[in-house]
Amino acid sequence: MENTVIKNEYKNVAVFGQGFVGLPLSLSFSFRGCNVYGVDVIKPLVDDINAGITHHTEEFEGKGIRQILNEELQSGRYRATCDMEYALKNCNNIIVTVGIPIKNGKHDISDLVECCTGIGRNLKKNDLVVIRSTVIPGTTEDVILPILERESGMKAGEDFYLGYSSERIAEGNAFNEFAYMPTIVGGINKISAEKTKELLSIVCKTDVIIASDIKVVETAKVFENVQRDVNIAMVQEFARFAEALGIDTNEVIRVANTHKRVNLLIPGPGVGGYCIPNAYHYLAPKAEELGVGLDLLKLSRSKNAELPNVMVSMFENELKKAGKSLEGIKVAVLGIAMKDYSNDDRISPPIEIVKILKSKGAKVAAYDPAVPTEYDFKVSSLEEAIEGADGVVVLAKQKEFDTIKADYLTSKLNSKSVIFDTRNLFADIKDELTAKGILFKTI
Protein backbone atom coordinates (compact mmCIF):
# COMPACT_ATOMS: atom_id res chain seq x y z
CA MET A 1 0.00 0.00 0.00
CA GLU A 2 1.37 3.39 -0.96
CA ASN A 3 2.24 6.14 1.53
CA THR A 4 0.23 9.33 1.14
CA VAL A 5 1.03 12.77 2.54
CA ILE A 6 -2.18 13.95 4.21
CA LYS A 7 -2.96 17.43 5.49
CA ASN A 8 -3.98 17.48 9.14
CA GLU A 9 -7.46 18.77 8.32
CA TYR A 10 -8.21 15.60 6.30
CA LYS A 11 -6.72 12.98 8.62
CA ASN A 12 -9.90 12.13 10.56
CA VAL A 13 -12.71 10.63 8.49
CA ALA A 14 -16.10 9.17 9.39
CA VAL A 15 -17.76 7.00 6.73
CA PHE A 16 -21.48 6.38 7.26
CA GLY A 17 -22.60 2.99 5.92
CA GLN A 18 -20.25 -0.01 6.05
CA GLY A 19 -21.62 -2.07 3.19
CA PHE A 20 -20.37 -2.81 -0.31
CA VAL A 21 -19.26 0.81 -0.82
CA GLY A 22 -18.60 2.13 2.67
CA LEU A 23 -16.30 -0.60 3.98
CA PRO A 24 -13.79 -0.64 1.11
CA LEU A 25 -13.91 3.16 1.00
CA SER A 26 -13.18 3.34 4.74
CA LEU A 27 -10.27 0.94 4.40
CA SER A 28 -8.98 2.87 1.37
CA PHE A 29 -8.63 5.95 3.58
CA SER A 30 -7.26 3.93 6.47
CA PHE A 31 -4.41 2.14 4.71
CA ARG A 32 -3.31 5.48 3.26
CA GLY A 33 -2.86 6.89 6.76
CA CYS A 34 -6.20 8.39 7.82
CA ASN A 35 -7.87 7.80 11.16
CA VAL A 36 -11.21 6.29 10.12
CA TYR A 37 -14.48 5.59 11.91
CA GLY A 38 -16.82 3.31 9.97
CA VAL A 39 -20.35 4.04 11.17
CA ASP A 40 -23.30 1.71 10.71
CA VAL A 41 -26.63 1.16 12.49
CA ILE A 42 -26.49 -2.65 12.17
CA LYS A 43 -24.77 -3.85 15.35
CA PRO A 44 -24.11 -7.47 14.22
CA LEU A 45 -22.38 -6.07 11.12
CA VAL A 46 -20.27 -3.69 13.22
CA ASP A 47 -19.39 -6.52 15.63
CA ASP A 48 -18.32 -8.79 12.75
CA ILE A 49 -16.20 -6.07 11.17
CA ASN A 50 -14.47 -5.27 14.45
CA ALA A 51 -13.77 -9.02 14.79
CA GLY A 52 -12.11 -8.94 11.36
CA ILE A 53 -14.96 -10.70 9.59
CA THR A 54 -16.35 -9.64 6.23
CA HIS A 55 -17.89 -11.67 3.40
CA HIS A 56 -17.01 -9.17 0.66
CA THR A 57 -14.89 -10.51 -2.19
CA GLU A 58 -12.75 -7.40 -2.81
CA GLU A 59 -8.99 -7.54 -3.41
CA PHE A 60 -6.23 -4.96 -3.75
CA GLU A 61 -2.54 -5.35 -4.59
CA GLY A 62 -2.55 -9.07 -3.86
CA LYS A 63 -4.48 -8.82 -0.59
CA GLY A 64 -8.07 -9.84 0.08
CA ILE A 65 -10.35 -7.45 1.91
CA ARG A 66 -10.36 -9.60 5.05
CA GLN A 67 -6.56 -9.34 5.29
CA ILE A 68 -6.73 -5.59 4.68
CA LEU A 69 -9.44 -5.20 7.31
CA ASN A 70 -7.48 -7.10 9.94
CA GLU A 71 -4.32 -5.14 9.22
CA GLU A 72 -6.15 -1.83 9.58
CA LEU A 73 -7.89 -2.94 12.78
CA GLN A 74 -4.54 -3.94 14.24
CA SER A 75 -2.99 -0.64 13.21
CA GLY A 76 -5.69 1.25 15.10
CA ARG A 77 -6.39 3.45 12.10
CA TYR A 78 -9.80 1.88 11.43
CA ARG A 79 -12.64 0.86 13.69
CA ALA A 80 -16.37 0.27 13.13
CA THR A 81 -18.97 1.74 15.46
CA CYS A 82 -22.69 2.27 15.93
CA ASP A 83 -21.95 5.41 17.97
CA MET A 84 -22.56 8.29 15.58
CA GLU A 85 -21.87 10.97 18.19
CA TYR A 86 -18.53 9.42 19.14
CA ALA A 87 -17.41 9.23 15.50
CA LEU A 88 -18.48 12.78 14.68
CA LYS A 89 -16.80 14.17 17.81
CA ASN A 90 -13.51 12.76 16.57
CA CYS A 91 -13.86 13.56 12.85
CA ASN A 92 -14.18 16.69 10.78
CA ASN A 93 -14.64 14.90 7.44
CA ILE A 94 -17.91 13.01 6.99
CA ILE A 95 -18.73 10.78 4.02
CA VAL A 96 -22.23 9.36 3.58
CA THR A 97 -22.72 6.14 1.60
CA VAL A 98 -26.21 5.29 2.91
CA GLY A 99 -28.39 3.96 0.09
CA ILE A 100 -31.88 4.86 -1.13
CA PRO A 101 -33.81 1.61 -1.61
CA ILE A 102 -36.59 1.23 -4.15
CA LYS A 103 -39.79 -0.34 -2.82
CA ASN A 104 -42.61 -1.13 -5.24
CA GLY A 105 -41.10 1.21 -7.80
CA LYS A 106 -40.86 4.13 -5.36
CA HIS A 107 -37.72 5.49 -3.74
CA ASP A 108 -37.45 5.53 0.06
CA ILE A 109 -35.19 8.30 1.28
CA SER A 110 -35.90 7.79 4.98
CA ASP A 111 -32.57 6.10 5.89
CA LEU A 112 -30.58 8.88 4.23
CA VAL A 113 -32.71 11.57 5.89
CA GLU A 114 -32.32 9.94 9.30
CA CYS A 115 -28.56 9.67 8.84
CA CYS A 116 -28.18 13.30 7.76
CA THR A 117 -30.44 14.47 10.61
CA GLY A 118 -28.11 12.79 13.11
CA ILE A 119 -25.06 14.24 11.39
CA GLY A 120 -26.59 17.72 11.46
CA ARG A 121 -27.23 17.51 15.22
CA ASN A 122 -23.56 16.73 15.83
CA LEU A 123 -22.00 18.92 13.16
CA LYS A 124 -19.09 21.15 14.19
CA LYS A 125 -17.83 24.37 12.68
CA ASN A 126 -15.66 23.78 9.58
CA ASP A 127 -16.76 20.14 9.18
CA LEU A 128 -16.94 18.80 5.62
CA VAL A 129 -19.89 16.58 4.62
CA VAL A 130 -19.61 14.62 1.36
CA ILE A 131 -22.61 12.68 0.04
CA ARG A 132 -21.61 9.59 -1.97
CA SER A 133 -25.01 7.91 -2.11
CA THR A 134 -26.75 7.56 -5.47
CA VAL A 135 -29.66 9.98 -5.22
CA ILE A 136 -32.52 11.56 -7.13
CA PRO A 137 -30.94 14.58 -8.86
CA GLY A 138 -31.37 17.64 -6.67
CA THR A 139 -31.39 15.71 -3.37
CA THR A 140 -28.14 17.11 -1.96
CA GLU A 141 -29.17 20.75 -2.28
CA ASP A 142 -32.95 20.45 -1.93
CA VAL A 143 -33.18 17.85 0.86
CA ILE A 144 -29.86 17.27 2.63
CA LEU A 145 -28.61 20.86 2.82
CA PRO A 146 -31.75 22.18 4.61
CA ILE A 147 -31.59 19.26 7.08
CA LEU A 148 -27.95 19.92 7.95
CA GLU A 149 -28.55 23.67 8.34
CA ARG A 150 -31.68 23.20 10.44
CA GLU A 151 -30.21 20.61 12.77
CA SER A 152 -26.82 22.32 13.19
CA GLY A 153 -28.00 25.94 13.30
CA MET A 154 -25.12 26.75 10.95
CA LYS A 155 -24.83 28.02 7.38
CA ALA A 156 -23.64 25.65 4.67
CA GLY A 157 -20.71 26.97 2.68
CA GLU A 158 -19.67 29.29 5.51
CA ASP A 159 -19.78 27.46 8.84
CA PHE A 160 -19.53 23.97 7.37
CA TYR A 161 -18.98 22.60 3.86
CA LEU A 162 -21.10 20.31 1.70
CA GLY A 163 -20.09 18.38 -1.40
CA TYR A 164 -21.29 15.50 -3.54
CA SER A 165 -19.27 12.82 -5.31
CA SER A 166 -20.77 9.93 -7.20
CA GLU A 167 -19.74 6.39 -6.34
CA ARG A 168 -18.63 4.70 -9.59
CA ILE A 169 -17.23 1.35 -8.47
CA ALA A 170 -18.07 -2.15 -9.63
CA GLU A 171 -18.34 -4.61 -6.75
CA GLY A 172 -15.34 -6.92 -6.73
CA ASN A 173 -13.08 -4.13 -7.99
CA ALA A 174 -13.86 -1.42 -5.45
CA PHE A 175 -10.35 -0.68 -4.18
CA ASN A 176 -8.93 -0.35 -7.68
CA GLU A 177 -11.76 1.79 -8.94
CA PHE A 178 -11.74 4.10 -5.93
CA ALA A 179 -8.07 4.63 -6.74
CA TYR A 180 -8.00 4.67 -10.53
CA MET A 181 -11.48 5.58 -11.78
CA PRO A 182 -11.77 9.37 -12.32
CA THR A 183 -13.70 10.87 -9.42
CA ILE A 184 -16.25 13.61 -10.14
CA VAL A 185 -17.17 16.08 -7.40
CA GLY A 186 -19.42 19.06 -6.91
CA GLY A 187 -19.95 21.48 -4.05
CA ILE A 188 -22.59 23.96 -2.92
CA ASN A 189 -19.92 26.62 -3.40
CA LYS A 190 -16.33 26.80 -4.63
CA ILE A 191 -14.66 26.14 -1.28
CA SER A 192 -16.92 23.12 -0.61
CA ALA A 193 -16.00 21.65 -4.00
CA GLU A 194 -12.30 22.24 -3.46
CA LYS A 195 -12.35 20.66 0.00
CA THR A 196 -14.27 17.66 -1.36
CA LYS A 197 -11.65 17.28 -4.08
CA GLU A 198 -8.78 17.44 -1.58
CA LEU A 199 -10.35 14.85 0.69
CA LEU A 200 -11.12 12.36 -2.08
CA SER A 201 -7.69 12.87 -3.66
CA ILE A 202 -6.27 10.94 -0.70
CA VAL A 203 -7.84 7.81 -2.18
CA CYS A 204 -8.20 8.69 -5.88
CA LYS A 205 -4.84 8.52 -7.64
CA THR A 206 -6.09 9.69 -11.02
CA ASP A 207 -8.23 12.71 -11.99
CA VAL A 208 -10.54 14.30 -9.45
CA ILE A 209 -12.71 16.59 -11.54
CA ILE A 210 -14.84 19.43 -10.19
CA ALA A 211 -18.13 19.78 -12.06
CA SER A 212 -19.96 23.08 -12.39
CA ASP A 213 -22.97 21.99 -10.34
CA ILE A 214 -23.81 19.26 -7.84
CA LYS A 215 -26.86 18.29 -9.93
CA VAL A 216 -24.51 17.57 -12.87
CA VAL A 217 -22.68 14.95 -10.78
CA GLU A 218 -25.88 13.48 -9.31
CA THR A 219 -27.45 13.19 -12.77
CA ALA A 220 -24.35 11.82 -14.49
CA LYS A 221 -24.18 9.02 -11.93
CA VAL A 222 -27.76 7.95 -12.62
CA PHE A 223 -27.24 8.24 -16.38
CA GLU A 224 -24.19 5.96 -16.11
CA ASN A 225 -26.32 3.24 -14.53
CA VAL A 226 -29.40 3.71 -16.72
CA GLN A 227 -27.41 3.38 -19.93
CA ARG A 228 -26.32 -0.09 -18.82
CA ASP A 229 -29.93 -0.99 -18.09
CA VAL A 230 -30.86 0.06 -21.64
CA ASN A 231 -27.89 -1.76 -23.17
CA ILE A 232 -28.77 -4.97 -21.32
CA ALA A 233 -32.38 -4.81 -22.52
CA MET A 234 -31.11 -4.30 -26.07
CA VAL A 235 -28.68 -7.21 -26.03
CA GLN A 236 -31.36 -9.53 -24.63
CA GLU A 237 -33.46 -8.80 -27.71
CA PHE A 238 -30.39 -9.39 -29.88
CA ALA A 239 -29.99 -12.78 -28.16
CA ARG A 240 -33.57 -13.80 -28.87
CA PHE A 241 -33.16 -12.77 -32.51
CA ALA A 242 -29.89 -14.68 -32.96
CA GLU A 243 -31.41 -17.77 -31.33
CA ALA A 244 -34.42 -17.67 -33.65
CA LEU A 245 -32.04 -17.31 -36.58
CA GLY A 246 -30.14 -20.39 -35.44
CA ILE A 247 -26.80 -18.71 -34.80
CA ASP A 248 -24.66 -18.33 -31.67
CA THR A 249 -25.37 -15.08 -29.82
CA ASN A 250 -21.96 -14.89 -28.19
CA GLU A 251 -20.17 -15.36 -31.50
CA VAL A 252 -22.30 -12.62 -33.05
CA ILE A 253 -21.38 -10.29 -30.18
CA ARG A 254 -17.66 -11.14 -30.48
CA VAL A 255 -17.78 -10.37 -34.19
CA ALA A 256 -19.72 -7.13 -33.71
CA ASN A 257 -17.33 -5.98 -30.98
CA THR A 258 -14.38 -6.11 -33.37
CA HIS A 259 -15.75 -2.76 -34.58
CA LYS A 260 -13.82 -0.12 -32.65
CA ARG A 261 -16.93 1.89 -31.81
CA VAL A 262 -19.12 -1.05 -30.75
CA ASN A 263 -19.16 -2.58 -27.27
CA LEU A 264 -22.12 -4.92 -26.90
CA LEU A 265 -22.62 -6.54 -23.51
CA ILE A 266 -22.98 -10.29 -22.98
CA PRO A 267 -26.57 -11.36 -22.18
CA GLY A 268 -27.18 -12.85 -18.75
CA PRO A 269 -30.10 -14.03 -16.61
CA GLY A 270 -31.15 -10.55 -15.50
CA VAL A 271 -30.09 -7.23 -14.03
CA GLY A 272 -29.22 -7.23 -10.35
CA GLY A 273 -27.47 -5.37 -7.58
CA TYR A 274 -28.30 -2.08 -5.95
CA CYS A 275 -27.31 0.28 -8.78
CA ILE A 276 -28.61 -0.60 -12.23
CA PRO A 277 -32.14 -1.87 -11.39
CA ASN A 278 -32.76 1.20 -9.21
CA ALA A 279 -31.37 3.83 -11.57
CA TYR A 280 -34.53 4.47 -13.59
CA HIS A 281 -36.48 4.92 -10.36
CA TYR A 282 -34.03 7.63 -9.26
CA LEU A 283 -34.67 9.57 -12.47
CA ALA A 284 -38.42 9.00 -12.82
CA PRO A 285 -39.67 11.23 -9.95
CA LYS A 286 -37.58 14.19 -11.07
CA ALA A 287 -38.59 13.62 -14.71
CA GLU A 288 -42.26 13.61 -13.72
CA GLU A 289 -41.74 16.83 -11.76
CA LEU A 290 -40.07 18.41 -14.81
CA GLY A 291 -42.64 17.10 -17.27
CA VAL A 292 -40.04 15.06 -19.19
CA GLY A 293 -40.86 11.65 -20.69
CA LEU A 294 -38.51 8.69 -20.19
CA ASP A 295 -40.35 6.18 -22.35
CA LEU A 296 -37.30 4.29 -23.63
CA LEU A 297 -35.78 4.03 -20.16
CA LYS A 298 -39.09 2.88 -18.67
CA LEU A 299 -39.51 0.20 -21.36
CA SER A 300 -35.96 -1.07 -20.83
CA ARG A 301 -36.51 -1.32 -17.08
CA SER A 302 -39.77 -3.19 -17.65
CA LYS A 303 -38.11 -5.58 -20.10
CA ASN A 304 -35.26 -6.31 -17.72
CA ALA A 305 -37.58 -6.81 -14.76
CA GLU A 306 -39.30 -9.56 -16.77
CA LEU A 307 -36.07 -11.48 -17.51
CA PRO A 308 -36.39 -14.02 -14.64
CA ASN A 309 -39.70 -15.19 -16.16
CA VAL A 310 -38.07 -15.34 -19.60
CA MET A 311 -35.21 -17.47 -18.23
CA VAL A 312 -37.57 -19.96 -16.60
CA SER A 313 -39.62 -20.24 -19.79
CA MET A 314 -36.46 -21.00 -21.77
CA PHE A 315 -35.47 -23.67 -19.26
CA GLU A 316 -38.96 -25.20 -19.38
CA ASN A 317 -38.76 -25.44 -23.16
CA GLU A 318 -35.52 -27.41 -22.90
CA LEU A 319 -37.00 -29.71 -20.28
CA LYS A 320 -39.88 -30.49 -22.63
CA LYS A 321 -37.39 -31.59 -25.28
CA ALA A 322 -36.05 -34.09 -22.73
CA GLY A 323 -39.54 -35.26 -21.84
CA LYS A 324 -39.51 -33.56 -18.45
CA SER A 325 -41.42 -30.76 -16.70
CA LEU A 326 -40.68 -28.64 -13.65
CA GLU A 327 -43.36 -30.24 -11.53
CA GLY A 328 -41.69 -32.48 -8.96
CA ILE A 329 -38.17 -32.59 -10.42
CA LYS A 330 -34.99 -31.55 -8.65
CA VAL A 331 -33.30 -28.49 -10.13
CA ALA A 332 -29.76 -27.58 -9.12
CA VAL A 333 -29.08 -23.83 -9.23
CA LEU A 334 -25.43 -22.77 -9.34
CA GLY A 335 -24.92 -19.20 -8.16
CA ILE A 336 -27.45 -16.92 -6.47
CA ALA A 337 -25.32 -13.76 -6.36
CA MET A 338 -26.47 -10.85 -8.48
CA LYS A 339 -23.40 -11.19 -10.73
CA ASP A 340 -20.38 -13.41 -11.27
CA TYR A 341 -17.80 -13.74 -8.47
CA SER A 342 -19.82 -11.63 -6.05
CA ASN A 343 -21.33 -12.26 -2.63
CA ASP A 344 -24.07 -9.67 -3.18
CA ASP A 345 -27.59 -11.09 -3.42
CA ARG A 346 -29.45 -7.76 -3.26
CA ILE A 347 -32.04 -7.45 -6.05
CA SER A 348 -30.61 -10.68 -7.44
CA PRO A 349 -32.24 -12.15 -10.59
CA PRO A 350 -31.17 -15.67 -9.52
CA ILE A 351 -33.23 -15.33 -6.35
CA GLU A 352 -36.27 -14.35 -8.43
CA ILE A 353 -35.64 -17.24 -10.81
CA VAL A 354 -35.52 -19.68 -7.88
CA LYS A 355 -38.84 -18.34 -6.58
CA ILE A 356 -40.45 -18.89 -9.98
CA LEU A 357 -39.01 -22.41 -10.28
CA LYS A 358 -40.42 -23.29 -6.86
CA SER A 359 -43.80 -21.78 -7.70
CA LYS A 360 -43.95 -24.14 -10.68
CA GLY A 361 -43.36 -27.19 -8.52
CA ALA A 362 -39.61 -27.71 -8.84
CA LYS A 363 -37.51 -28.86 -5.90
CA VAL A 364 -34.68 -26.35 -5.92
CA ALA A 365 -31.24 -26.99 -4.43
CA ALA A 366 -29.19 -23.82 -4.84
CA TYR A 367 -25.49 -23.58 -4.07
CA ASP A 368 -23.37 -20.44 -3.88
CA PRO A 369 -20.20 -20.60 -1.75
CA ALA A 370 -19.78 -16.79 -1.68
CA VAL A 371 -23.26 -15.65 -0.61
CA PRO A 372 -23.64 -15.79 3.20
CA THR A 373 -27.43 -15.28 3.32
CA GLU A 374 -29.42 -18.30 4.42
CA TYR A 375 -32.39 -19.49 2.33
CA ASP A 376 -34.60 -22.56 2.66
CA PHE A 377 -33.60 -23.61 -0.88
CA LYS A 378 -29.86 -23.19 -0.30
CA VAL A 379 -27.58 -26.21 0.23
CA SER A 380 -24.06 -26.39 1.61
CA SER A 381 -22.13 -28.12 -1.17
CA LEU A 382 -21.94 -28.53 -4.93
CA GLU A 383 -22.49 -32.28 -4.59
CA GLU A 384 -25.64 -31.77 -2.52
CA ALA A 385 -26.98 -29.46 -5.21
CA ILE A 386 -26.42 -31.62 -8.29
CA GLU A 387 -26.83 -35.14 -6.88
CA GLY A 388 -29.93 -36.68 -8.50
CA ALA A 389 -30.94 -33.48 -10.31
CA ASP A 390 -32.83 -33.52 -13.60
CA GLY A 391 -31.79 -29.99 -14.46
CA VAL A 392 -28.99 -27.54 -13.71
CA VAL A 393 -29.39 -23.79 -14.07
CA VAL A 394 -26.17 -21.77 -13.96
CA LEU A 395 -26.96 -18.22 -12.85
CA ALA A 396 -23.69 -16.83 -11.45
CA LYS A 397 -20.09 -17.95 -11.62
CA GLN A 398 -18.01 -18.50 -8.50
CA LYS A 399 -14.37 -19.60 -8.29
CA GLU A 400 -15.34 -23.06 -7.05
CA PHE A 401 -17.39 -23.62 -10.20
CA ASP A 402 -14.52 -22.83 -12.60
CA THR A 403 -12.94 -26.28 -12.24
CA ILE A 404 -16.07 -28.46 -12.54
CA LYS A 405 -15.46 -31.35 -14.93
CA ALA A 406 -17.93 -32.98 -17.34
CA ASP A 407 -17.41 -36.43 -15.78
CA TYR A 408 -18.28 -35.10 -12.34
CA LEU A 409 -21.55 -33.62 -13.59
CA THR A 410 -22.64 -36.68 -15.54
CA SER A 411 -21.84 -38.99 -12.63
CA LYS A 412 -24.19 -37.07 -10.34
CA LEU A 413 -27.06 -35.99 -12.60
CA ASN A 414 -30.02 -38.13 -13.62
CA SER A 415 -30.16 -39.40 -17.19
CA LYS A 416 -31.34 -37.01 -19.91
CA SER A 417 -30.71 -34.04 -17.67
CA VAL A 418 -30.82 -30.47 -18.92
CA ILE A 419 -28.12 -27.89 -18.25
CA PHE A 420 -29.22 -24.30 -18.84
CA ASP A 421 -25.99 -22.31 -18.71
CA THR A 422 -26.78 -18.59 -18.68
CA ARG A 423 -23.18 -17.61 -17.82
CA ASN A 424 -21.21 -19.77 -20.31
CA LEU A 425 -19.57 -21.51 -17.37
CA PHE A 426 -19.37 -24.84 -19.18
CA ALA A 427 -18.52 -23.56 -22.67
CA ASP A 428 -15.27 -25.56 -22.75
CA ILE A 429 -16.92 -28.86 -21.78
CA LYS A 430 -20.16 -28.44 -23.71
CA ASP A 431 -19.27 -31.08 -26.30
CA GLU A 432 -18.32 -33.61 -23.60
CA LEU A 433 -21.63 -33.05 -21.84
CA THR A 434 -23.77 -33.42 -24.95
CA ALA A 435 -21.81 -36.53 -25.97
CA LYS A 436 -22.91 -38.10 -22.68
CA GLY A 437 -26.59 -37.38 -23.20
CA ILE A 438 -26.91 -34.01 -21.49
CA LEU A 439 -29.18 -31.50 -23.21
CA PHE A 440 -27.19 -28.28 -23.09
CA LYS A 441 -28.56 -24.77 -23.57
CA THR A 442 -27.06 -21.28 -23.34
CA ILE A 443 -28.53 -17.84 -23.91
Domain boundary among 170, 192, 212: 212
Between CA 223 and CA 216 the distance in angstroms is 10
Instruction: State whether 396 and 424 are in the same domain.
Output: yes
Categorize the per-residue pLDDT at 388 as very low, low, confident or very high, splitting at 50, 70 and 90. Answer: very high
Domain boundary among 260, 282, 299: 299
The CA-atom distances, in angstroms, between 83 and each of 119, 197, 395, 439 are 11, 27, 39, 56
Q: From the CA atom positions of the chain, what is the Rg in Å?
A: 24
High-pLDDT (> 90) share of the chain, %: 95
pLDDT average, residue stretch 127-143: 96
Between CA 13 and CA 17 the distance in angstroms is 13
395 in a structural domain: yes
Between CA 374 and CA 330 the distance in angstroms is 19
State residue 5's pLDDT score.
83
CATH of the domain at 259: 1.10.1040.10
pLDDT in tens, 56-97: 999 999 999 999 999 999 999 999 999 999 999 999 999 999
- Measured at the alpha carbon of residue 54, what is the angle toward residues 268 and 74, in degrees to the nearest 5? 145
High-pLDDT (> 70) share of the chain, %: 99
Domain boundary among 299, 328, 361: 299
- Count of domains for the chain: 3
176 in a structural domain: yes
The secondary element (H helix, E strand) that includes residue 247 is none
Instruction: State whether 203 and 259 are in the same domain.
Output: no
385 in a structural domain: yes
Instruction: State whether 291 and 327 are in the same domain.
Output: no
Instruction: State whether 114 and 244 are in the same domain.
Output: no
pLDDT in tens, 262-303: 999 999 999 998 889 999 999 999 999 999 999 999 999 999
Instruction: State whether 293 and 356 are in the same domain.
Output: no
Instruction: State whether 437 and 320 are in the same domain.
Output: yes
pLDDT average, residue stretch 93-103: 93
Between CA 26 and CA 123 the distance in angstroms is 20
Decide if 131 contacts 192 (C-beta within 8 A): no
363 in a structural domain: yes
Categorize the per-residue pLDDT at 2 as very low, low, confident or very high, splitting at 50, 70 and 90. Answer: low
Phi, psi of 163 (to 5 degrees): -135, 170
Instruction: State whether 41 and 165 are in the same domain.
Output: yes
- Measured at the alpha carbon of residue 222, what is the angle toward residues 397 and 164, in degrees to the nearest 5? 110
Helix boundaries (H) for 327-441: 349-359, 382-386, 406-412, 430-435
> By C-alpha distance, which of 2, 70, 59, 66 is closest to 32?
2
Cβ neighbours of residue 190 under 8 Å, at least 6 residues apart? none
Instruction: State whether 41 and 178 are in the same domain.
Output: yes
State residue 172's pLDDT score.
87
pLDDT at 169 over 80: yes
CATH of the domain at 350: 3.40.50.720
Instruction: State whether 327 and 286 are in the same domain.
Output: no
pLDDT at 4 over 80: no
The secondary element (H helix, E strand) that includes residue 17 is none
State residue 103's pLDDT score.
82
pLDDT at 27 over 90: yes
Instruction: State whether 310 and 412 are in the same domain.
Output: yes
Q: What is the extent of the structural domain holding 177?
A: 8-212
Q: Confirm whether pTM is higher than 0.75.
A: yes
DSSP string, 48-90: HHHTT------EETTEEHHHHHHHHHHHTSEEEES-HHHHHHH
DSSP string, 144-191: IHHHHHHHH-S-BTTTBEEEEE-----TT-HHHHHHHSPEEEEESSHH
pLDDT in tens, 310-353: 999 999 999 999 999 999 999 999 999 999 999 999 999 999 99
Instruction: State whether 95 and 150 are in the same domain.
Output: yes
Q: In what order do the strands lie in the sheet with 439-442?
A: 363-367, 330-334, 391-394, 418-421, 439-442
Instruction: State whether 225 and 323 are in the same domain.
Output: no
DSSP string, 301-321: HHHHHTHHHHHHHHHHHHHHH
Average pLDDT, the chain: 95
State residue 170's pLDDT score.
86
pLDDT in tens, 417-433: 999 999 999 999 999 99
